[in-house]
Amino acid sequence: MGIEVGRPPRPDNATGPQAGLWFRPPRLRTAAGEAERRHASWLELFFDLVFVVAIAELSHQLVVDHSLFGFLRFAGLFIPVFVAWQGFMAYADRFDTDDLGFRLAFFTAMLAIAAMAVLIGDVARGQRSAEFILAYVTLRSLMLALYARAWFAVPEARPLVRFYGLGYALGVGIWLSSLAVPAPAKYLVWGIALTEELSLPPLTTRLHRRIRTSASHFPERWALFTLIVIGESVVAVALATAGARWQPASAAAAVLGFATVVGAWWLYFDRQADVELTGSTVSVVIYSYAHIPLLIGLAAMSAGVRLLITNASNPHLGLGATVALVGGVILYLLSLIGTRTATLSGFHRGGLALKLAAIAVFLLLLLTQGVLPPLVPAAGVALVLVALIYAERALLGYAPAG
């Protein structure tokens, strides 16, 4: 007898062969009703793929402009991409549904996210901001439609639905108001809107004490998104190497860049199978929001690797490119420490000390980048990450999980 993956059981009120064929009301996922940790559905995995385009475009913009303003713009445009993904991820985790309405909402959202992605370059040049706003508002309007549906289908979740519905509606209003505001004040309005939207999960602590939704799926979803961002670094190595005409310095830089990517993957995923949140709303918020700088750091590292390969034959890598590469790894490690504080296992003091020691070496590489050839800081980053992995395994007994 075959097993159909990803489809919830037919509701008890199904009355005929066509009942529930296309539409099924959403149901609240609760910690009490979850026998075992669920895994990402095929739709969720498909949905994540569209963000590859957005992350690639964000990383490319940092390659184009890695000045201080370029870094600020890169981080500022990263946040709405993050918030867009987080909203749909959290809804799918709170409510168990996979019917036609849910799928159409997600497919439409994928188109809106793709539109945001292709507009990132134009927005970075101060153009087509209205189209970017409308794409983002479309995403939030889809979220409002999904929560409106949950309002009617899940009465016990109405306090939570009301809170997020009003919060998203306010965010939509602020985003639309920015259409009438000229640049650069327009971007300040965007910042206000994003701050309001990011404040919603931390403010739901009391609500989640009454409505006990399950958060066991969060670590896997964040890990999958992290894998997408790390995967962009692999693509960056391949593309930059293809355009470097296989010069010896560029080939060496590609190897070192790939070693850095592998080190970042290893440190995150070596223990990921054992990651379990404490269960409190605060731990979910800390774990989730620590991923914002973590993912920004990884995307910056991707841009840094590409710049490293391209400029490997130059006397120096340059401050902006070095900050992207080395600074991105520093931000990643600091954020990784933050994610561990929200797990049941917590962070080991020895592991904390090792990561801080590695960060100190990276800071030294940043301070001396002006007198070092590009391959030296690249080699330093790769070797320190390898040493960190070895030390955690040999000295602290960290073993691969899963």
Task: Give residue-wise pLDDT tens across range 167-192.
Answer: 999 999 999 999 999 988 999 999 99
Tell me which amino acid residue 171 is: G
Q: Which two tokens stand for residue 32?
A: 């009490």
pLDDT digits (tens, 9 = 90+) for 59-95: 999 999 999 999 999 999 999 999 999 999 988 888 8
pLDDT in tens, 349-371: 778 899 999 999 999 999 998 88
Confidence of residue 376 (pLDDT cuts 50, 70, 90): very high
For the chain, the first-to-last Cα distance in angstroms comes to: 28
pLDDT number for residue 225: 93
Average pLDDT over residues 24-48: 76
Residue with tokens 């693509």: 235
Taken in order 338, 340, 342, 346, is the CA torsion positive or negative? negative
The pLDDT score that the predictor gives to residue 12 is: 42
Higher pLDDT, 399 or 1: 399
In the numeric block, which tokens belong to residue 45? 């995995």
pLDDT value for 183: 86
| Residue predicted with more confidence, 348 or 296 | 296
Residue with tokens 């000045």: 67
Phi, psi of 213 (to 5 degrees): -75, 155
Dist CA 395 CA 385 (whole Å): 15
Q: Considering the chain, what is the average pLDDT of its residues? A: 85
What is the reported pLDDT for 3?
A: 38
CB atoms within 10 A of CB 144: 16
pLDDT single digits (tens) 143-172: 999 999 999 998 988 998 999 999 999 999
Single-letter amino acid, residue 222? W
Higher pLDDT, 396 or 173: 173
Digit-coded pLDDT (tens) for 316-330: 899 999 999 999 999
Contact (CB, 8 A) for 77 and 124: yes
Residue 181, token pair as written in the block:
């505001």
Architecture of domain 218-394: Up-down Bundle (1.20)
Q: How do residues 277-306 score in pLDDT, each as one tens digit?
A: 766 678 888 888 999 999 999 999 999 999
% of the chain at pLDDT higher than 70: 87
Decide if 255 contacts 306 (C-beta within 8 A).
no
- pLDDT of residue 11 exceeding 70, the answer is no
User: Environment class of residue 348 by beta-carbon count within 10 Å: exposed (0-12), middle (13-18) or buried (19+)?
Assistant: middle
Is the per-residue pLDDT at 10 higher than 60? no
C-alpha to C-alpha distance for 156 and 144, rounded to whole angstroms: 18
Q: For 320-365, what is the HEC assignment?
A: HHHHHHHHHHHHHHHHHHHHHCCECCCCCHHHHHHHHHHHHHHHHH
**Sign of torsion, CA 303 306 312 315?**
negative
pLDDT of residue 26 exceeding 70: yes
Q: How confident is the model at residue 212, as a pLDDT?
A: 67
Question: Which stretch of 25-34, 44-53, 359-368 has the lowest confidence by average pLDDT?
Answer: 25-34
Confidence of residue 268 (pLDDT cuts 50, 70, 90): very high
Mean pLDDT of 246-263: 90
pLDDT of residue 58: 93
What angle in degrees, to the nearest 10, is found between the helix axes of 68-94 and 218-242?
A: 140
- Closest alpha carbon to 388 in 219, 223, 259, 237: 259
Relative orientation angle of helices 328-340 and 349-367, to the nearest 10 degrees: 170
User: Could you give the C-alpha distances from 357 to 157, 380, 388, 391, 395, in angstroms and in order?
Assistant: 46, 13, 9, 11, 15
For residue 342, the model assigns a pLDDT of 75
- How would you class 365 by CB atoms within 10 Å of its CB: exposed for 0-12, middle for 13-18, buried for 19 or more? buried
Which two tokens mark 334?
A: 């600091």
Q: Where are the domains of the chain?
A: 40-210, 218-394
Tokens 């309005």 correspond to 189
Q: Which residue has the higher pLDDT, 203 or 360?
A: 360
- Longest CA pairwise span in the chain (Å): 76
**Confidence (pTM):** 0.89
- Cα dist. 274→89, 95, 402 in Å? 21, 25, 8
Q: Which residues contact 303 (CB under 8 A, 6 or more apart)?
A: 59, 60, 62, 63, 66, 74, 236, 324, 328
Short-list 298, 282, 304, 301, CA closest to 335: 298
- The rounded distance, in Å, linking the Cα atoms of 252 and 193 is 44
